[in-house]
Amino acid sequence: MSTHRPPVAIAHDYLTQRGGAERVVLTLMRAFPDAPLHTTLYDPDATYPDFADADVRTSPLNRLAPLRRDHRLALPLLAPAASRMRVDADVVVASSSGWAHGFETGDRTRTVVYCHNPARWLYQTDEYLGGAAWRSPVGPPLLAMRPVLKRWDRRRADQVDVYLANSRVVQQRIRATYGRDAELLPPPHGMDASAPTEPVPELDGWEPGYALVVSRLLPYKNVDAVIEAVRGTERRLVVVGRGPEESRLRATLPDNVRILGGLPDAQLRGVYAGAGVLVAASHEDFGLAPLEAAAFGVPAVALRGGGFLETVLEGETGVFFDRPDPDQIAVALDVSDRHGWDGARLRARAEEFGEARFIDRIRTIALGEGTVA
């Protein structure tokens, strides 16, 4: 290893939100505690406070506050910005959903990409925008840029030494998109059910047993369908998350639904502990939220597809519905109500995806101490 540069550096697309990908970066920080963290944009107020302890190195785009507040505004600029992000280390571990695998590294640098998904806005554009791309304000310019961005994306992918996939779905997409084989390494769920909790003032007077959604508020997450499933019923629903759909959802929010925005982890743990069921209606590459809920003995009602098929065991840790349709979600919730769930089995399932297992494997792969499948 070189004595003139870090042995390991971490790269991530942007730190402007709270979600599963950002939790993976926090785990990478624990796996490589001395590694600098490179990212295009960093908004400390919008992401997890733990990043304040990291050596975060950003692109020049970070000087523009509107881009920190909404990274989608930076879309035309992110490819050139990523190309100019110079990461100097013996090994770069990149957590990527479309940009960090494109950061510039030297010829002597080994690059390991933990892929959450090949760029959804390039290869699943309609799903990403929540409908036909031409109907979205950002759709036409994105479609115009897509051929150039695809060429950039694939050139950068060719320079990666090792690809890792967070789910079988993503493993297949990496093969189809880049022609690369990727080892399957599920992410850790990152929820410590034994850690302290804090109450959430907005839920004062709400008894435990409510339905819960933990999700970014994006079109393909289908949070609106979950809200419609409980509208006009006595079932209470708590939604934890932020995103561009928030104002639209709040405009017609029924009295039995609360949207809490982002929460610190202690409050999020409290919300999970008080839930009766988690509802997961989104198109996910890896179904992380059901594992977080399972750590608290809470079952899931989930869309039958994508990563949820890898984390939810039907009849043991949750039930499925086939389409993100309010009627189907409502029926699945009724089925869950009548099911006798085993809290110990739920917690054991969450433990199968613990952080120690992930850290041990990522260190072995990154430092070249084992055989990469």
**Averaged pLDDT, groups of 10, the chain, 373 residues long:** 76 92 95 97 93 95 89 81 93 94 91 93 72 66 84 94 93 95 92 93 95 93 97 97 93 97 92 98 88 97 93 97 97 97 97 92 84 40
Residue 93, pLDDT score: 98
Please, which residues have CB within 8 angstroms of residue 282's CB and are 6 or more apart in sequence? 215, 220, 221, 222, 223, 303, 324
Where do the domains of the chain lie, and which CATH numbers do they carry?
Answer: 8-188+354-366 (3.40.50), 201-351 (3.40.50.2000)
Q: What's at 207, amino acid-wise?
A: E
Distances from the Cα of 221 to the Cα of 153, 180, 279, 283, 340, angstroms: 25, 28, 11, 6, 28
Residue 132, pLDDT score: 67
**Sign, CA torsion 129/131/134/136:** negative
C-alpha to C-alpha distance for 184 and 84, rounded to whole angstroms: 29
Asked if 287 contacts 280 with a C-beta cutoff of 8 angstroms, the reply is yes
Residue 124, pLDDT score: 76
Residue 44 backbone dihedrals phi, psi, to 5 degrees: -55, -30
Please, which residues have CB within 8 angstroms of residue 315's CB and are 6 or more apart in sequence? 339
Residue 1, pLDDT score: 43
Residue 128, pLDDT score: 66
Residue 240 backbone dihedrals phi, psi, to 5 degrees: -110, 120
Residue 260 backbone dihedrals phi, psi, to 5 degrees: -100, -10
Instruction: Give the up-direction half-sphere exposure of residue 282: CA atoms within 13 A in the CB hemisphere.
Output: 22
